[in-house]
Structure 1
């Protein structure tokens, strides 16, 4: 390990840098010696010639550095030998249709691709082999023609460049597809996590209330157990679905409200208006979150005159939902973790298809939600 001004370099890193630098110089000397792969300095101004070759050298060095750090030097030398063979053959044969340069160059490119992107290469190896095999086949069919240099060499070069371009585009699509699948899996995992954060919190509170009623031997205990059973069934079975019928979500909300009402000794005015003109589907265990928030941070904070107004309406392509409640002016925490989960689930399930408005006064809180279902 070598450390210089805060930078640590391992022995293997230094070794790969030295080898990559040496091989890059050797390759450029051989290719330059052949005269077939370096741009003719007489065809461009010196500054452009130097810039192009400098970029090529840096790219060559970076590629070799990656290869040397990951693979055996013998494998790398074997692949680079194909490039050198192609360059030397181009120089010594002095004919436009020599039988070595094109096949060796294609095999070199395929070898580098196999080293750098092995999983992609293995998955599409048949397509890649057919593409480059077609170039080689075309080359050997027409290389013997007297007019090969004028009529066919350009086509061979074009096919070779086209094959490389197609491979790069296919690799880009492969990477895009992988990224999109990763995003989908991350979204699913995030949604599962959000659901797991909501359900245990509700059941913990409900079981505490049930425990209190059992201790008091309340007549409401059996009814509460039955409601809790219905809610658990809905959560366990329907909660796994992406969408459920809105009427099932409403039944779940009604059971939740009844469970919550049983535990209050004070008078609470609860209004639940439903105008379901057209059946709709909705993400399960979603609308109950603001209602739970209203109970926890609104009704629980008041000793009297507590109210909760809930409204659900549907149209041909939308669902409207609103919750309005009052709370003690001394209670400044009306947000809660549940509301953050509510917003995140909306963003996942209804991206760009919902509008959420929250209005708060000194003692009243109102949440309205508009969801586009088409």
Structure 2
């Protein structure tokens, strides 16, 4: 993770330099009165304060570098912690379904294979800083196919993707929160007519993800749970000022749009 200096950090550096220059200026006046009339005194004053200035500047740089390093380490630790919280209960719920399907349904093998791929991705790839868009896309497809098998109800689930550069790098497990919410608040609670439409595009190093689903009126999909808080915080840390997340709630429809300018 690269070192970044915030506006507050630059103000702190500027203030330290101002204070240092003020101290040096005052000391020059005092030293000039003392040594200015001595032969070679001016050269001594210049050399002394040049060394003093370099020493102070070096100290300030080391202090700022240390502060930024600690801040970046804190953000990295927080990101890893947030990624580790990405809905592990889904895996347990799916495993419970597998127990009921294994002896009576041939789809069990398909579910086991897809779940295995998802767990591998979540455990190994999900802990990395970056993955390719293709890897993230495959993960989402596996999740959606598993959910369609799991619910056994007629629904309209569409997932469209158009990616210019499948090897473009992105932080893993960003979209899954939004997809999980669509199934949880929509398809899971609707008896019939449920739909989930997903559109993922990437062009000119910018990703646009749109997901829309319907829900029952008594549901409250706009309530922000831990998953959305998790997502917002990860976006703030990984893509500061390079993302946009918007929610649109109508009578029975819920729509989320996420745009990310890739690094």
Return the TM-score normalized by structure 2: 0.80
Aligned position for 1:271: 158
What's the CA shift string for 1:216-260, capped at 9, x where partnerless? Answer: 733222211111011111122221222222111111101000111
Contact 2:245 2:259 in 1 (8 A): yes
Aligned position for 1:234: 121
- In structure 2, how many angstroms separate the alpha carbons of the residues matched to 1:206 and 1:190? 28
1:223 aligns with 2:110: yes
- SS of the aligned residue for 1:308 comes to strand
Aligned position for 1:142: none
* Count of aligned residue pairs for this structure pair: 231
Offset of 1:167 from its aligned partner? 1.9
1:358 aligns with 2:247: yes
Offset of 1:164 from its aligned partner? 2.5
What's the CA shift string for 1:61-87, capped at 9, x where partnerless? Answer: xxxxxxxxxxxxxxxxxxxxxxxxxxx
Offset of 1:172 from its aligned partner? 1.1
Offset of 1:149 from its aligned partner? 4.3
Contact 1:293 1:339 in 2 (8 A): no
What's the CA shift string for 1:170-205, capped at 9, x where partnerless? Answer: 111111101110111011101110111105233233
CA-based RMSD of the aligned residues comes to: 2.3
Contact 2:221 2:254 in 1 (8 A): no
1:349 aligns with 2:238: yes
Aligned position for 1:328: 216
- SS of the aligned residue for 2:183 comes to helix
Return the TM-score normalized by structure 1: 0.58
Aligned position for 2:8: none
1:208 aligns with 2:96: yes
1:291 to 150, 164, 179: 179
Contact 1:293 1:336 in 2 (8 A): no
Q: Report which of the two has the higher share of helix.
A: 1
Bigger-Rg structure (1/2)? 1
In structure 1, the gaps of 5 or more residues are 1-36, 41-95, 98-147
What's the CA shift string for 1:252-287, capped at 9, x where partnerless? Answer: 101000111111132121001111233322211111
CA gap of 1:151–1:202, structure 2 versus 1, over 3 A, is: farther
2:229 to 334, 337, 340: 340
- In structure 2, how many angstroms separate the alpha carbons of the residues matched to 1:181 and 1:351? 17
What's the CA shift string for 1:56-110, capped at 9, x where partnerless? Answer: xxxxxxxxxxxxxxxxxxxxxxxxxxxxxxxxxxxxxxxx88xxxxxxxxxxxxx
Which has the higher mean CA deviation after the structures are superposed, 320-329 or 272-281?
272-281
